[in-house]
Structure 1
């Protein structure tokens, strides 16, 4: 049986905390073809190198600031204290490009990847440029940073964004899918990389276990059944099927980085709702967005 859930540490490779689906990953997932993710923790003055491959990449600081050398040109990414601090600068690099990522003070950085054929220019997207969307309403409110979506970034294959869900709220809801090329839907693999924290203002005791939950289930004859407890550093792969909700447990905020790409001709995020639950969208009419949003710098 193929494993779709990778708790922290189970997808590590040499100096990478996570290395899944990328060209040089030693941990290859059966049938996984279109997306990849690397995460590294850098000590002060540390660095990681990504050799040139036929894959496009987006460098996303999780905490800390970073310098990225792309073919001798250095780009400075003003980072953030953590993923709940609002948007951060990100850097897109095209195919067959070597990257050296370094940090003076140390921190953690994610790199979203996707095999690609067409080259697009390197682009620094500053935090101020990133479209911030408040999606849903009531207890389905969440905050989306759309730095790698088709409307915001010129790229070949992938769609990348990050989502913050306040404690007690549901996101990736109603359950939906994007596993077929048909009218109104595109076929896209998806990676969820999670982080969690005790909600701001909480009086939680020491040693608190910040958790959330992720659900994925079958939409056709292909079997998949995921009901995973997730924490900082965990990854869930969604090859197909209905997915959602991603649930922030009461008392704990949830973040996830989404990486999507597929084999179809269009770089679009077109989805179908589970017909049992799609009606929930209409229930948001007239409701306010959760006042805890937006999380900002």
Structure 2
């Protein structure tokens, strides 16, 4: 079952997309990637990814709050199959691309797991499809975990020429908030689309840990260019004397396990 399907056409832009597929035990999902390169990200459960005569068995995780996951990169113009023996929920982060690159399995050991910020701006960033980790044509993707009561995607910032998708899950079913052309209340399964401009923070309500998957692509060079909103950039300087939130990093047992 396709639970969510954001395409460049439905978003009204040119490059970034996201699909969330839910599989029952033993179920398969088939599609052609067409003009999109794809990063398969297990949100809950394990999955076997087959494409281009290649296969990767993604161990995945019980939930997004149980630590980082291995992922698979699938090129354009490929016949893609997902199969999950036990069932699960899987994100397909996509970008319209012009180069056909090889299928690739990206284990957690090859990713860059980063603790960013400090104090109540502490968050965990799992970099699995950023420019320093994955060779791709256009797609940039990572996931961010923010302990309840903390702020992330902060200071407010923008990414020149990058269309950005935020996909949210909230531990325990609570609300969270995203500033982007106003403030949006979000819950698990919601998305916020950011075609351009200043955005952030992402706010985790006290008692509810926040997860979001970022998917970005654009017409220019594949580069993660970040520019802080000038009036708030000074906040970074306040982190030097603060400790990282001790609730990080996330791993098994760290979430509410609702």
**Do Structure 1 and Structure 2 share a fold, with TM-score over 0.5?**
yes
1:128 correspondence with 2:109: yes
Q: Matched residues in 2 for 1:69 and 1:293: separation?
A: 33
Unaligned runs of 5+ in 1: 1-14, 180-186, 199-208, 217-224
Map 1:16-165 onto structure 2 (within 5 A).
16-21=2-7, 28-30=10-12, 32-165=13-146
Once the two structures are TM-superposed, the CA of residue 296 in structure 1 deviates from its matched residue by: 2.3
Does the CA contact (< 8 Å) of 1:135 and 1:143 recur in 2?
yes
Once the two structures are TM-superposed, the CA of residue 129 in structure 1 deviates from its matched residue by: 2.2
Structure exhibiting the larger radius of gyration computed from Cα positions: 1
TM-score by length of 2: 0.95
Give the length in aligned residue pairs: 252
SS in 2 for 1:167: coil
Give the match for residue 178 of structure 2: 214
Give the match for residue 189 of structure 2: 233
Once the two structures are TM-superposed, the CA of residue 73 in structure 1 deviates from its matched residue by: 2.8
TM-score by length of 1: 0.82
Q: Matched residues in 1 for 2:11 and 2:5: separation?
A: 11
Q: Matched residues in 2 for 1:210 and 1:65: separation?
A: 25
1:196 correspondence with 2:170: yes
Pairing partner for 1:255 from 190, 207, 211: 211
Once the two structures are TM-superposed, the CA of residue 40 in structure 1 deviates from its matched residue by: 1.1
Once the two structures are TM-superposed, the CA of residue 214 in structure 1 deviates from its matched residue by: 0.3
SS in 1 for 2:11: coil
Does the CA contact (< 8 Å) of 2:11 and 2:193 recur in 1?
no
Once the two structures are TM-superposed, the CA of residue 52 in structure 1 deviates from its matched residue by: 3.6
Cα deviation, 1:211-255, whole Å, max 9, x if unaligned, reads 110001xxxxxxxx2311111100000001111000000000000
Unaligned runs of 5+ in 2: 253-258
Structure 1's consecutive aligned runs of 4 or more residues displaced over 3 angstroms after TM superposition are none
